[in-house]
Copies of this chain bind each other. A is one copy, B any other.
Amino acid sequence: MTPQQAYDELFAISKEITTLHSIGSIISWDRETYMPSKGAELRAEQSAYISGRTHRLFIDPRVGELLAEAEAGAFGQNPESDEAANLREWRHDYDRAVKVPAELVEEISRTSVLAQSAWTEARRKSEFALFQPLLTKHIDLARQVAGYIGYTESSYDALLDEYEPGMTTAEVKRLFSALRDDLVPLVHAILGSSRQPKTEILHREFPLDRQKLFGEAAAAAFGYDLLGGRLDTVTHPFCIGIGPGDVRITTRYTLNFFNESFFGVLHETGHGLDEPNLPAAAFGGPLGDACSMGIHESQSRLWENFVGRGRPYWRYFFPRAQQTYPAALGDVTLDDFYFAVNAVSPSYIRVEADEVTYNLHIMLRFEIEQAIIGGDLPVADIPGVWNETFERYVGIPVPDDAQGCLQDVHWSFGGFGYFPTYALGNLYAAQIDAAARTALPDLDAQIASGDFQPLLGWLKTNIYQHGKRFRAPDLLRRVTGQAPSHEPLMGYLKAKFGELYGVA
């Protein structure tokens, strides 16, 4: 067997796994949108079948043999070639998958089922103790995983590597620490400002059918193709890429709150612009898949905040919003509206947080995750540490665990290492936005005239089309000339919110 033959066979296996994942994405989407409630039990079996089958296909010793054969070829001579990039990612995922014993994978799976119902109950009653035993179990299992995967510096590295390969715990710590030092004073200055937005205008009546049409128009304006996607209503909004020609977004509507659905749609649209612009021919291998969780998040935040919460955007869209909601917005000025959608206020719930305080929510979770995985923090102490740190960062006391350490679903499925990618997405977004502005000097004027094609084209060329060809830090360096950094984000936040709130 030649290295090329081995590569081709690997691609065929990878394509079978990808096809199964794409089928799995449809049944997940259906579960969240239209599945009748009594179908839940069967759906769990169907999803478990797909997970089990893809896992078994991938950990087959044949994959290891093929990888070794293909790696012995000359593909590595051009590390940016399609073959070298796919081999690098397959090797990474294969080594992770085979290092962890099947029994441990199953144990995590079983624990997740139990932990998710325990967490739901605990959050409902706001009683951390109800979740504590299964969280403790999950943490123990995650530590075992880290042990099997291996690490040089920190056990958290082994977990972070699943969500953001190429990023290290030390690097995240350095970035977050610098960001926090700059961010906390900015938050306090903003909250202390006498200039405050009239947020009540966002809480008037926005008829739901109009919200749907306005949201679809906003998504389409960015370049989201409604013939290759769709917008549906769910409880917890998400974007799901099924594959070439089919990337779906979701939202939820609140009659008396403009932001909930509108900025949610812009956020999911940002996710939904990445995948349709991956090379369709690469479907089946890592090059046909988005770069990383952090880069994926950077695109949702870039389109939602850097574009969609910007003044140029509303120069174009505010008159359209007024036409759509004459009763609610007829008497509102552009300046008041722009300030209102950029209101900064301390809040308990991460997913509702504004652009400035959002990152503090992530840092808090990262610090706690690191400490519990490293063994420095007993699980029982999480609520105390959470509440103390939250108040120090955000400036308000946490009223209960439901609005504190029990608010997010991630720990209930053992997703340790996932949270940092949310804040990394914000850092990356600021760096990419700055690079785009250098390359497109007329960007603000284009946005103000409703023309998003130049930005989309630049992102497609520089980010989307590469798939996983480069790891996130390498991609950033190529596109922005910089390593991951907190400075562009802080520069952006200080300029924008300094002007809005009149703080230095």
**Count of A interface residues, CB-CB < 8 Å:** 36
Q: Per a CB cutoff under 8 Å, which of B26, B37, B49, B283 touches A30?
A: B26
Q: Is the C-beta of A244 less than 8 angstroms from some C-beta in chain B?
A: yes
Query: With the chains together, A14 CA to B23 CA distance in Å?
Result: 20
**Closest chain B residue to A246 by CB distance?**
B39
Q: Is the CB of B26 within 8 A of A244?
A: no
Chain B residues within 8 Å of A228, by CB: 36-39
Interface string of A239-266 (1 = CB under 8 A from B): 0001111101000000000000000000
Residues of B contacting A49 in the complex (Cβ-Cβ under 8 angstroms): 16, 19-20, 23
Q: Which of A40-48, A74-82, A341-349, A403-411 is the interface stretch?
A: A40-48
Considering only residues 425-478 of chain A, those with a C-beta below 8 Å from chain B are none
| A residues 93-148 touching B (CB-CB < 8 Å) | none
A22: CB under 8 A from chain B? Answer: yes
Bound-state Cα–Cα, A285 to B43, Å: 18
User: Other than the known A36-B245, A41-B245, A42-B246, what 4 A-B pairs have Cβ atoms closer than 8 Å?
Assistant: A19-B45, A22-B46, A23-B23, A30-B30
Q: Does A227 contact B (CB under 8 A)?
A: yes
Q: Is A50 an interface residue (CB 8 A)?
A: yes
Q: Which residues of B contact A246 (CB under 8 A)?
A: 35-36, 38-39, 42-43
Once the chains bind, are B34 and A23 in contact (CB under 8 Å)?
Answer: no
| 10 nearest A-B pairs in the assembled complex, by CB-CB distance | A39-B246, A38-B245, A38-B228, A42-B243, A39-B245, A19-B49, A38-B227, A23-B46, A37-B227, A26-B27
Binary CB contact string for chain A from 21 to 65 against chain B (1 if under 8 A, 0 otherwise): 011001100100011111111110110011000000000000000
Distance in angstroms from A15 CB to nearest chain B CB is 9
> B residues within 8 A CB of A16?
49
A37 CB contacts on chain B under 8 angstroms? 227-228
What would 28 A/B residue contacts be, using CB atoms closer than 8 Å?
A16-B49, A19-B45, A19-B49, A20-B49, A22-B46, A23-B23, A23-B27, A23-B46, A26-B27, A26-B30, A34-B34, A36-B227, A36-B230, A36-B246, A36-B248, A37-B227, A38-B228, A38-B245, A38-B246, A39-B242, A39-B243, A39-B245, A41-B245, A42-B242, A42-B244, A42-B245, A42-B283, A43-B246
- The distance from the CB of A473 to the nearest CB of chain B, in whole angstroms, is 31
Contact of A229 among B23, B36, B226, B248 (CB under 8 A): B36
Indicate how many identical chains form the complex.
2
Which residue of chain B lies nearest to A45 when distances are taken between CB atoms in the complex?
A: B19
Residues of chain A touching chain B, judged by Cβ–Cβ distance below 8 Å, are 16, 19-20, 22-23, 26-27, 30, 34-43, 45-46, 49-50, 225-230, 232, 242-246, 248, 283
Q: Are the C-beta atoms of B34 and A46 separated by less than 8 Å?
A: no
- Name the distance in Å between A224's Cβ and chain B's nearest Cβ: 11
Of all chain B residues, the one with the shortest Cβ separation from A16 is B49
Contacts of A41 in B (CB 8 A): 244-245
Interchain CA distance A191-B226 in the complex, whole Å? 50
Shortest distance from the beta carbon of A230 to any chain B beta carbon, whole Å? 6
Shortest CB-to-CB span from A485 to chain B, Å, is 38
CA distance A354 to B248 in the complex (A): 41
State the CA gap A488–B228 with chains docked (Å). 51
Q: How far is the CB of A368 from chain B (nearest CB, A)?
A: 38
Which residues from B are CB-within-8-Å of A35? 246
A232 to chain B, nearest CB (A): 8
